[in-house]
Every structure is written in structure tokens, then in C-alpha cells.
Structure 1
Amino acid sequence: MVKIDLRSDTVTKPTTGMLEAIMTARIGDDVFGEDESVSELEHKLAALFNMEAGLFCPSGTMTNQIAIKCFTQPMDEVICDQTAHVYRYEGGGIAYHSLASVRLLNGPRGILTAEMIEREINEENIHYPNSSLVVLENTVNKGGGACYTLKDIEPIHQLSKARGLKLHLDGARIFNALVATGDQAYDYGSYFDGISVCLSKGLGAPVGSVLLGSKEMIQKAKKIRKVFGGGMRQAGFLAAAGIYALDHHVNRLSLDHAHAKVLGGVLSKTKYVSGVMPVETNIVLFDIHESFSTAGIISELNKRGILCNATGPKTIRFVTHLDVSAEMIEQTADILKNLIP
């Protein structure tokens, strides 16, 4: 039985073209600044997003945590949504690495507004932590792949600038957002102090994220990366995969979005699903009807070759990606329609 893995877009395998790029990569010792492929990737993404410099790291968690440490001091406070990856899924890193507290907001599907943020910025008072950083996530994982547009981001940028706060983007699936909204990557550099760009999700690279920012910020980030144990040597093999992904796997993301919409449409018509979150990109979140067991539905899907995860007591997630073909989507749709007689 062929497995259809919808657990995450992190499960992809390198394509034939990507493997060739990896095998022919120009490499050196990146800790010495001598890996040509790493430098090319960093410069390519910095130019694409209109930022001064970039820093290649093993994971998006590392790029996010480095950025937070760059932009905060102990006793500061980070403002983010209560579903944010930097808060929920990075091991308490904000507290552990940066000695900062977190002010959690509750945006619709994880999308924050300037009005929401402004109410939560602390005034100068010895009793309060210093509000110093806002973190946005695009797309919002727990929001079912919900997207910020640049129109959404601009007032948050203006507020942050006026109040002296830094603004960081956890761009875990930023290219999915760009494809869905039609916004341009280059414009993002005007709004953010830091951007984390993940290469190992929808773009299909095996490893890595790049942190973007000013030259001064990235120089500081490089030292923090070293302290975190993220300095890599012949990392050009990994960077070459990222370069290939940027050149070949961005435009095809619209296909993943179309596949996700097909699954969302089918799920909305089944008797065991009580609701499907609006599908904007490649993530489908759906709630299981109270008369059915979430674990039972996942087990039945697994028996039929469909792998997926629960993200809550009654919520299951599907994520489409480049290793899920149109034929697999058709097969999955048939299974979903007939899962419960």
C-alpha cells in the first residue's frame, strides 16, 4: 500500500534535480565564511526580501529564537498570538534563551491587528516588563494556513515603529502566503526588522531556514548561532538544496493550495466532520463530530494508507506538499467520502 503522508510538509524527500544540486554543491567551511553555496543562499534570500544580510541555520526554531534574543533584553516582553509557533512549539525557548516574558493575544485564526497589539503594549512602569518585540507568523499554522497580507502588516509596522518595538516575522510558510496573496517578497523588507524563511516545508528542502535582517543584526545573530551550536561546516550541501527549492518549487505551491481546497471541500460534506476551517493555503484543519472519536478517525485513515495528526482533542490536520500528487488527492478524497458507511 502506498502511503499518502499528510502529516506535514516537512516530510518531503529531495527531488532528482535537488539531489543533483546537492551533489554538485560548491562547499567550504561556513564557520570560516568560506562556503560559497551558503553565501549564495544567504545573499539570494536577502536580495529577494530586500534585507541587508542573511544567516543560514539548521531550523526555523533556531532562526526565530536567535531573532528574539537579538531583539530583546532580559525582563522584556514579546507580543504574539497565543497560537504562535514561537510560543507553543519551540520548547519554552523565549524564557530559556532570552529571559523574556510573553504577552499572548487571541487573534482570529492567529491573525493580529495593530489595534489588538496597541492595547497590550506596556507603559513605562517598574511593575511591568518592557514591551520590545512583536512576532507575527505567516502563514499561521494553528490558523489553518491563514495569511497576512501586506495591507494587514503595514499598520502593525507603523505602530511598532512609533512605539519603539521591533517586528519579527516567523515566515515558516512565507512563500505559501506570497503565492496565495500575490504580495511581493521584496516589499516585506520595508516592514520587518527580522524575517525567518523556512526552506524545509513547502519548498521541499531537507533542512534549514535563513534569518534575514540588517548587517548589524545578522553579525550579532551569527555569534548567537555559534553559542546555540548552530555553526555548520560544509553546509553548502544543504544550502544548495535551498537554492534549488527557491528556483524550482515556489510557483508550484499553488498546486498544493488547490489540493488542500479539494480535501477541505470533501471533508465539509462528511457526517463525521463538524467543521472545516477556511482553506487558504496548504493546511486543512477540521473538527471531528462529537459522536466520533478523533483517534478512531485517524486510525481508520491510517489503515487505508493516509497519515495525519491530531492538533487538538477534536481537530485533525492535513498538509499538502510536493510529494502528494493529484492522483493521491483523488484517492484520499474517495477514502474520505467512504470512510464511515
Structure 2
Amino acid sequence: MTTMNAAISTKGETPILDNGQGVIDPDVYFEVNKAPADLPEFEEKLNAFVDYHKAKNNNVVLITSGGTTVPLENQTVRFIDNFSNGNRGATSAEYFLEAGYAVVFMHRTNSIQPYHRHFIPSQRGFLDYMRPTEEGSVEVRPEYVEKMHQVLLRYEKAKQENRLLLLEFVTLPQYLFKLQSGAKILARLQEKAMYYLAAAVSDFFIPSSKMVEHKIQSRDGGLTLTLDQVPKFLKPLVSNWAAKGLIVSFKLETDTNLLVPKARAALERYGHQVVIGNMLKTRRQTVTFITQHTEKVITLTKEELDTDVEIESKIIPELARIHQNWIKSGSTE
């Protein structure tokens, strides 16, 4: 969901990245936008993580999670934000770890993280799980001890086994540069890499060359912005950056009749392997797996919903099965 308090126009002058066919060229994007300052640190951490798990012959999944911001000034004060708290990505990371994967969790700063998510419900702050003792220390309140102990055990196990790497982004340029670099690093794992693209990525942006340098002033009244379309990066991801990995994208719709046709159109257009389709109102209960030749609905029963079973507990085993087929035969079937 894109939100801002201004009039937005997506039409106007021809985008400077236009390839002459009305489509913005992804390759040019990286030439005209500045790489994030922390990209070398990102690459160093990811290289070490991938080398470690390549030596162990482990499957590795790159999860993207949370929303991206689109800066409106080069010295950013104002921005457009794609809303996503990152719950699906964080929840999925835990189930991937349970399935034996090493997880690269590339997430929006301050979005929900695996394991931490169990202790940040909106109606209760983290400190509400604790209480001070007369001895001057702090302890977990008795009613939360068992759950916190179990979650902490899983979290510590993932860390001790070096199977969870947390990497951050905020802006759209940070996300895109890190996705490109990260995909190319994971490509060393070939078929044993999976790319689970759960982030909510902006569809429109302002190239840095078109942005004003300083804070946009409000004294002149209303604001009209002309936004360029974000390049379609799934195509080079599939064909170049991660050519042998299993790539999973998501499709969210509000019209049931559009879900499968649009998912199949995406598979045809970009050439990746799996689209997970979900409807806005039932996304936590039902998803549809769409591949080139198959369609499979996974849903939670009322009893499962009543006992807090998470749909990701069924999504990830199905993906692990598909991935094993991909590794063995280069097919999802």
C-alpha cells in the first residue's frame, strides 16, 4: 500500500531510463543511481555466509521482507512508503530453519524479525513480559516463561549453527542494489539456492538525478510529483543473476478471477518457477501455488485457525518439496 499526503502524477516526461520501447531498462538503473554506502559490508557478510554453507552442502534461502521507501529528496526528509510489517517473511524464516535451510533474511529496518515476532503484539510491549525482582534483577513473568524459553532455544540454535543471517534495507535503491548483489553471490550455490521474494517493493520512484537536493518546502502550497516506473527486476534475476536457483514470487489480488491468470502471466513473462497467490482478505488462511504446469490450493481448516496454526507452516514444506525436485531434476514437478 503506497501512502502519501500529496498529489501524485505517474504520467509526464519520458523516463530517463526508457529503453525506447516504453520499458525502463534494469541495467541502466544501476548506472544512474548510487549504490548504498553499506553495500561492501553487506557483500562481505553474505560472501562469508554463503561460503560456509556451500562447504557444508546446505540449502540456502534468501528471503526479502518488509516494504521499501522511495525518497523524494537526495537529502531525504520526505518519502513514500510501501506498507508491510514483514510478518510473512519473518514467519517463513522460522519454518525454513525448521526445514533445515540456512536463511538470509534481507529485511526492512525495524520490520518484524524471526523469533522476535512472538513478543511484539500491538497490545503488549516487550517490557510487559518482564518484571523487576527484589534482588535488583529482571525476570520473565511466569505466564510467559514456557513460550519464551521455547522460542529462545530455537533462536539460539539458529545462531549457534550459523544458519540465520540478518541483513537490512530501507530505501528502494538499497533494496535493488542488495538484491542484485545478493542474488549473484548466492548463485554460487546454483540449484541449492532459493529466492523467496516476500518484500513489498515500490512500483514507482524518482531517479536521484530528478530529485531536489534539499527538503521540499511546504510554503508554496500543494505538491505534484512525477514518478517513473520501477524497472522489472524479476526478469534479470531469473535469466542472469540467479539463473539456476529456484525463484518464488508472490501475487496479491482482491479479485478472485484475476489471481491465477495474473500469476500464470507472470510466470510466462519472467520465466521463474513458482508464484504463491493469495487474496487480500484470506491471505493468512489460503494460498495457491502456481507453477508452469500445476495449481495447488493450500488452506487452513477452522480448527487450525482456532488453534493458531500459521499458513506458513504449510507453505514452507511444500516449497521444500518443490525445491528438492528442482535440485534433482531441474523441474518443479
Structure-1-length-normalised TM-score: 0.29
Work out which of the two has the higher radius of gyration on C-alpha atoms and give 1 or 2. Answer: 2
Structure-2-length-normalised TM-score: 0.29
